[in-house]
Amino acid sequence: MIRFSNVTKVYTRGQRPALDHVTLEIERGEFAFLVGASGSGKSTMLALVLRQERASSGTVYVLGQDVSTLADRKVPFFRRQIGVVFQDFRLLENKTVFENVAFAMQVIGQPRHSILSVVPDVLSLVGLDGMGKRLPHELSGGEQQRVAIARAVVNRPQVLLADEPTGNLDPLTSEGIMAVLDRVNQTGTTVVMATHDVGLVNEMRRRVIELVDGAIVRDESGGRYGAGYVGGGRRP
Amino acid sequence: MRFWFVLTEIAAGFRRNMTMISAVILVTFVSLASVGSALLLQMQIDKLRGEWYGKVEVSIWLCPVQQLGGEVCVDGPVTQDQQDAIEARLKSEELSPYVADYTVETPDEVYADLQDSFSDADWTGGVTVDALPPVIHVKLVNPEDYQVVEEAVNGQPGVYLVRDQSELLSPLFDILAKGQVAALAVAGVLMVAAILLITTTIRLSAMSRQKETGIMRLVGASNLFIQLPFMLEGAVAALLGSVLSVAALWLVGKFWLVGWMSESFGTLLSRVNVSDVFVVAPWLMLLAVVLAALSSVLTLRRFTKV
């Protein structure tokens, strides 16, 4: 589903690489955590998967395609198979919950009748039944993130990328979000979540890929947040 | 669905960007109005040229009986042989491509003409038939080829002088042509301003909707779909400007050209009229769309990054 083969990413020539010879494979239907301190390369990995960035060397395969050779004009169609969620939700303030989710379908040209039938289902999946008419500012942070997740999965992507989705939320709300992501995963969607929330990772007991300075230092299924990881600092 | 979506996006862009959009409309309006004026002026020039040059002719005055002194006609009045030679020259292979037709007016006819045209003037009484030369009136295929005929005929035995009536018209056309150049120059400067303004408007609009376009890009909306509302926004504003310019030209045509000019000049001048405005109109609208498209390309290249 997602395969990194000896991938290096250098943003500025002469600087330390953001990713350093990373090789990795994530299978269909998996739920994987990317953990590590800020600047360890988690977001770079997600950007490479989304083809927002291109690898400096090595190849990145997503859904069977080498994304570095993907033509620019094909990128939009490629992205329709991938959903993304961010720490800051990125909802449109002047649109209702329903419209925010419907927006993702409108802009790729989905017909009206399918929008009307799909959006309520997805809102129900993320636990926002009956809140379609609310505006984002009327919602709590957790609810806003649920809207963002609904928008990310409404086009039934095969992969869901989540970049620190609980970064702005309290622990209890975060658990709720994790439950939603878990539910999305249960529908067969591969979920890759970058985080440094120790508690959540330990509780979920899923695959954990740990990055330090752009290199994978640990990759274990059913893992915990790194044993050597102490309070957000880097390993010595 | 998509169509309505794009429409609502454009409407939203207009609401958000009202002042800039108004500026775009006004600048395109004024610039296209000057382009339109220049085009109408050109049509006016063409009409006058066609009408007046169609009437003008080259007159070859032959030597009269009366002695003139100076260097011409030293051999006395034109002889029949000389006149035949000149006529043969006009019919020759060298000149026939330029000469449409010619007529010969005898001194008697010239005299009658003179009496007719200037019957009120007292100086005509002193003119005798003897003093008048025969005149050959030459109609040219193209009035601008006057030089060719003049060079071929002038200085021939029996020729007194060659006159081109179109010479009298050239100062007028000079003035009209200068006016046209001025209108085009103003139009050029204003069009550059229009492009810059449309560019800025599109950029502002795109910036104010960065969050939306960012989301669109993430969920896989195509580049064209993302850019279309911005492009159309510029295009619609420019088109509105062109509609205003057509309306303005029409008003000027109706109330100034037809109203005032008719009163002042009557039917003396054939003029561009209101219907000519509608000949120019499609070109102005096309120009507006080209302006907007050019600006879009300039601006949105930056936004095509995936």
Residue predicted with more confidence, A23 or B4: A23
Contacts of A3 (CB under 8 A, 6+ apart): A24, A25, A26, A60, A61, A62
**Among the ranges given (A13-17, A99-103, B141-145), the one the predictor scored with the smallest mean pLDDT:** B141-145
- Which position has the token pair 């409309």? B25
Q: Is A76 on the interface with B (CB under 8 A)?
A: yes
* pLDDT at residue A232, rounded to an integer: 44
Of B1, B5, B221, which has the smallest distance from its Cβ to A76's Cβ?
B221
Residue predicted with more confidence, B295 or A96: A96
| CATH number, residue A24 | 3.40.50.300
Q: From A136, A156, A176, give the residue that closes a domain.
A: A156
**pLDDT, tens digit, 9 for 90 and up, residues B166-205:** 777 778 778 878 888 888 888 888 888 888 888 888 888 7
- Please determine, for residue A164, whether its predicted confidence score (pLDDT) is greater than 90: yes
Q: Is the domain of A141 the same as that of A163?
A: no
Establish if A98 belongs to a structural domain: yes
Using 50, 70 and 90 to split pLDDT, how confident is the model at A234? very low
B218:A50 CB<8 A: yes
Residue predicted with more confidence, B3 or B302: B3
Establish if A169 belongs to a structural domain: yes
Sketch out chain B's domains with CATH numbers: 2-52+171-304 (no CATH), 57-166 (3.30.70.3040)
- Please determine, for residue B306, whether its predicted confidence score (pLDDT) is greater than 60: no
**Among the ranges given (A55-64, A213-222, B1-10, B220-229), the one the predictor scored with the smallest mean pLDDT:** B1-10
What is the rounded CA–CA span in Å between residue B175 and residue B186? 17
Q: How many CB pairs under 8 A join A and B?
A: 62
**What 8-state DSSP symbol labels residue A90?**
-
**Cβ A57 vs Cβ A39: under 8 Å:** no
- What is the extent of the structural domain holding A15? 1-81+158-225
Q: Is the domain of A7 the same as that of A58?
A: yes
For B210, list phi and psi in degrees, rounded to 5. Answer: -60, -40
Q: Is the domain of A191 the same as that of A76?
A: yes
Q: Is the domain of A68 the same as that of A165?
A: yes
Q: Is A108 on the interface with B (CB under 8 A)?
A: yes
What is the rounded CA–CA span in Å between residue B120 and residue A76? 88
Using 50, 70 and 90 to split pLDDT, how confident is the model at A42? very high
Mean per-residue pLDDT, A106-120: 92
Establish if A112 belongs to a structural domain: yes
What is the rounded CA–CA span in Å between residue A67 and residue A159? 14
Q: Is the domain of A128 the same as that of A33?
A: no
Of B2, B219, B222, which has the smallest distance from its Cβ to A155's Cβ?
B219
Establish if A26 belongs to a structural domain: yes
How far does the CA of residue A216 sit from the closest CA of chain B (Å)?
A: 27
DSSP string, A110-161: --HHHHHHHHHHHHHHTT-TT-TT--GGGS-HHHHHHHHHHHHHTT--SEEE
- Please determine, for residue A55, whether its predicted confidence score (pLDDT) is greater than 70: yes
> In chain A, whose CA is at the least distance from the CA of B3?
A109
B220:A80 CB<8 A: yes
- Please determine, for residue B244, whether its predicted confidence score (pLDDT) is greater than 50: yes
* pLDDT at residue B230, rounded to an integer: 81
Q: Is the domain of A115 the same as that of A74?
A: no
Mean per-residue pLDDT, A31-36: 94
> In chain B, whose CA is at the least distance from the CA of A92?
B212
Mean per-residue pLDDT, A163-175: 92
Q: Is the domain of A207 the same as that of A115?
A: no
Question: Sign (positive/negative) of CA torsion B111, B112, B118, B122?
Answer: positive
B219:A92 CB<8 A: no
B218:A79 CB<8 A: yes
What is the rounded CA–CA span in Å between residue A2 and residue A79? 14
For A158, list phi and psi in degrees, rounded to 5. Answer: -85, -20
Establish if A230 belongs to a structural domain: no
Q: Is A49 on the interface with B (CB under 8 A)?
A: no
Dmax over CA atoms of chain A, in Å, equals: 57
- Please determine, for residue B264, whether its predicted confidence score (pLDDT) is greater than 70: no
What is the rounded CA–CA span in Å between residue B155 and residue B170? 25
A76:B220 CB<8 A: yes
CA dihedral B256, B259, B260, B261 (to 10 degrees): 90
- Please determine, for residue B263, whether its predicted confidence score (pLDDT) is greater than 70: no
Strands A190-195 and A19-26: unpaired
Task: For chain A, count helices (H), then strands (E).
Answer: 7, 10
* pLDDT at residue A61, rounded to an integer: 95
In one-letter notation, the amino acid at residue A178 is M
**pLDDT, tens digit, 9 for 90 and up, residues B198-228:** 888 888 878 888 888 889 888 888 888 888 8
Mean per-residue pLDDT, B99-110: 84
Q: From A103, A121, A156, give the residue that closes a domain.
A: A156
Question: Sign (positive/negative) of CA torsion B297, B299, B302, B305?
Answer: negative
Establish if A235 belongs to a structural domain: no
What is the rounded CA–CA span in Å between residue A186 and residue A31? 10
* pLDDT at residue B231, rounded to an integer: 82
Q: Is the domain of A58 the same as that of A165?
A: yes
* pLDDT at residue A8, rounded to an integer: 94
Which chain A residues have a beta carbon less than 8 Å from that of B7? none
As for how many domains chain A has, the answer is: 2
Which chain A residues have a beta carbon less than 8 Å from that of B215? 90, 92, 103-104, 151
* pLDDT mean across residues, chain B: 80
Q: Is the domain of A104 the same as that of A135?
A: yes
* pLDDT at residue A59, rounded to an integer: 94
Share of chain A above pLDDT 70, in %: 95
Of B211, B215, B223, which has the smallest distance from its Cβ to A76's Cβ?
B223
> In chain A, whose CA is at the least distance from the CA of B225?
A107
* pLDDT mean across residues, chain A: 90
Residue predicted with more confidence, B292 or B65: B292
ipTM of the complex, rounded to two decimals: 0.84
Establish if A236 belongs to a structural domain: no
3-state helix, strand, coil in chain B (%, to 5): 70, 10, 20
Closest CA to B129 of B147, B145, B111, B150: B111
**Cβ A152 vs Cβ A181: under 8 Å:** no
Q: Is the domain of A167 the same as that of A205?
A: yes
For B97, list phi and psi in degrees, rounded to 5. Answer: -65, -20
Q: From A102, A121, A156, give the residue that closes a domain.
A: A156
**pLDDT, tens digit, 9 for 90 and up, residues B66-78:** 766 667 777 778 8
- Please determine, for residue A191, whether its predicted confidence score (pLDDT) is greater than 90: yes
Residue predicted with more confidence, B202 or B245: B245
Q: Is the domain of A94 the same as that of A46?
A: no
B2:A78 CB<8 A: no
Of B219, B226, B304, which has the smallest distance from its Cβ to A79's Cβ?
B219
Q: Is the domain of A168 the same as that of A99?
A: no
What is the rounded CA–CA span in Å between residue A229 and residue B137? 109
Establish if A233 belongs to a structural domain: no
**Cβ B5 vs Cβ A107: under 8 Å:** yes
- Which position has the token pair 């009307």? A116
Mean per-residue pLDDT, A66-75: 89
**For A146-184, b where at least 16 C-beta lie within 10 A, e where not — what string?**
bbbbbbbbbbebbbbbbbbbbebbeeebbbbbbebbeeb
What is the rounded CA–CA span in Å between residue B187 and residue B35? 5
Question: Sign (positive/negative) of CA torsion B82, B87, B93, B94?
Answer: positive
